[in-house]
Amino acid sequence: MQRVVVLMSGGLDSATVLAMAQAAGRAVHTLTLSYGQRHMAEIEAARRIAQDAKVDSHREIGVDLSAIGSSALTDVTIPVPEARNQEAVQNREVPVTYVPARNTIMLSVALALAESIGAKEIWCGVNAVDYSGYPDCRPEFIRAFEDLARIATRAGIQGDRILIKAPLIRMSKSEIIKAGTGLGVDYSLTVSCYQATLSGTACGRCEACSMRRLGFEGAGLPDPTRY
Amino acid sequence: MQRVVVLMSGGLDSATVLAMAQAAGRAVHTLTLSYGQRHMAEIEAARRIAQDAKVDSHREIGVDLSAIGSSALTDVTIPVPEARNQEAVQNREVPVTYVPARNTIMLSVALALAESIGAKEIWCGVNAVDYSGYPDCRPEFIRAFEDLARIATRAGIQGDRILIKAPLIRMSKSEIIKAGTGLGVDYSLTVSCYQATLSGTACGRCEACSMRRLGFEGAGLPDPTRY
């Protein structure tokens, strides 16, 4: 079985990616980054999802981005906004919940793990549809990181590429939920809320909650989120 | 004054880069990554060098790569080798002290800081001459990371590039030492040894010690290292 790294945030998207990687016959090694995010419940959720999926290994690595700040997700002095208005979304404004270089850092650590365990693919839940304002959620970002990975690693020097798989990148939240439900994903284990309580109760008002609820509505499936 | 991030390992190379950035009139914000390395004395050295240089700010961020392992620098079960023989160097073998994706991770965190504080350059001591076996010490790696940075950041989306400055990349250790000495760098503050004691005493036998000693010899300057 081909060995892969799956980046697990504990949210709906990465739980779906994990199921997709296993459905594709991959031996999955999950990696969760604790980056000083407000929503620590996600870390706990990631652990439960990984256990439930019986992954080959699960690792948590801390990168304390709270020393950097400037995002509402890591800096407690910046309030988490309620859902953005459509004008801001259409103007492709970068939201205040954007964590500078977060996906670059996450993929870099995943790359270190992939190289260390001999994995040839990194799977991640990057999505360009809902997160249209995040620069590091675009297909061109994934391609640029693959180019970097080819040059940055021992595997790359030896002609062996490490690929970045982002199967959700062009899917809507409803499509993701339908696909995951078809693969048996238990979405009650996942946490999306930007300010979930430690026990995983969602606020129901932030942008992540709003997108999640609309996703279940659009999919015509019951929303198992605890609000 | 233009604001820049300088990656500081506490070694000879990054101390020289810091001096070069200040000589070029930059306002310097230093960043040291603690990645579970054996040579913790480097972290302490980086702090002293930053203080001595009166930088605008100094940050230490932990990324615990010991959970990943597979390098002699982070995995205590892998012995640090003595200097490699010339054959291994000429065959461009990747040494056991190579930390998977280390420079990719370091530059990613530096990119997050740069974006957060509005810095337009990241300076680092990457060197292709002495570290010829490390994939992420080559000029093509620096270019690939610059390409990624352009695509991965809010600044990049807005047409504002963040540049990676690697002024030492083609310099020999002797040339670096001569340049730094000309800029007043106090090399007695720096630690290069892969297995330095906590107080910064060098082993004198590992590859890093060997390259450093030969560098001072080649420069015709006294070696202030404490062995």
Reduce the secondary structure of chain A to three states and give it as a string. Answer: CCEEEEECCCCHHHHHHHHHHHHCCCEEEEEEEECCCCCCHHHHHHHHHHHHCCCCEEEEEEECHHHCCCCCCCCCCCCCCECCCHHHHHCCCCCCCCCCCHHHHHHHHHHHHHHHHCCCEEECCCCCCCCCCCHHHCHHHHHHHHHHHHHHCHHHHCCCCCEEECCCCCCCHHHHHHHHHHCCCCHHHCCCCCCCCCCCCCCCCEHHHHHHHHHHHHHCCCCCCCC
pLDDT more than 70, % of chain A: 84
- B40 in contact with chain A, both atoms CB, cutoff 8 A: no
In angstroms, what separates the C-alpha of A224 from chain B's closest C-alpha? 33
- B103 in contact with chain A, both atoms CB, cutoff 8 A: yes
Does residue A214 have a pLDDT over 80? yes
pLDDT more than 70, % of chain B: 84
Which of A68, A101, A156 shows the shortest C-beta gap to B152? Answer: A101
Asked if A102's CB is within 8 angstroms of B112's CB, the reply is yes
- A139 in contact with chain B, both atoms CB, cutoff 8 A: no
What is the reported pLDDT for A169? Answer: 94
Read off the pLDDT band of A8 (50, 70, 90): very high
Does residue A205 have a pLDDT over 60? yes
Distance CA A150, CA A160 (A): 8
Nearest residue on chain A to B148, alpha-carbon basis: A144
Q: What is the pTM of this model?
A: 0.86
In angstroms, what separates the C-alpha of B153 from chain A's closest C-alpha? 6
Residue A73 or residue B133, greater confidence: B133
Residue A101 or residue B48, greater confidence: B48
How do residues A48-87 score in pLDDT, each as one tens digit?
999 999 999 999 988 887 777 655 555 555 555 566 555 5
Read off the pLDDT band of B66 (50, 70, 90): confident
Asked if A100's CB is within 8 angstroms of B115's CB, the reply is yes
Does residue B168 have a pLDDT over 70? yes
Q: What is the mean pLDDT of residues B14-27?
A: 98
Read off the pLDDT band of B129 (50, 70, 90): confident
Asked if A101's CB is within 8 angstroms of B153's CB, the reply is yes
Mean per-residue pLDDT over chain B, rounded? 86
Asked if A62's CB is within 8 angstroms of B63's CB, the reply is yes
- B100 in contact with chain A, both atoms CB, cutoff 8 A: yes
- A91 in contact with chain B, both atoms CB, cutoff 8 A: no
Distance CA B151, CA B137 (A): 21
- A191 in contact with chain B, both atoms CB, cutoff 8 A: no
Q: Is B102 helix (H, G, I), strand (E, B) or coil?
A: helix
In angstroms, what separates the C-alpha of A188 from chain B's closest C-alpha? 29
Nearest residue on chain B to A153, alpha-carbon basis: B135
What separation, in Å, do the N-terminal and C-terminal C-alpha atoms of chain A show? 39
DSSP single-letter state for residue B16: H
Find the range with the poorest average confidence among A18-22, A195-199, A213-217, B89-93.
B89-93
* H/E run at residue B75: none
Q: What is the mean pLDDT of residues B163-168?
A: 97
Asked if B154's CB is within 8 angstroms of A135's CB, the reply is yes
- A120 in contact with chain B, both atoms CB, cutoff 8 A: no
Q: Superfamily for A3-219? A: HUPs (3.40.50.620)
Asked if A63's CB is within 8 angstroms of B62's CB, the reply is yes
Structural domain spans, chain A: 3-219
**Structure ipTM:** 0.84
- A108 in contact with chain B, both atoms CB, cutoff 8 A: yes
What is the reported pLDDT for A163? Answer: 96
Does residue A102 have a pLDDT over 60? yes
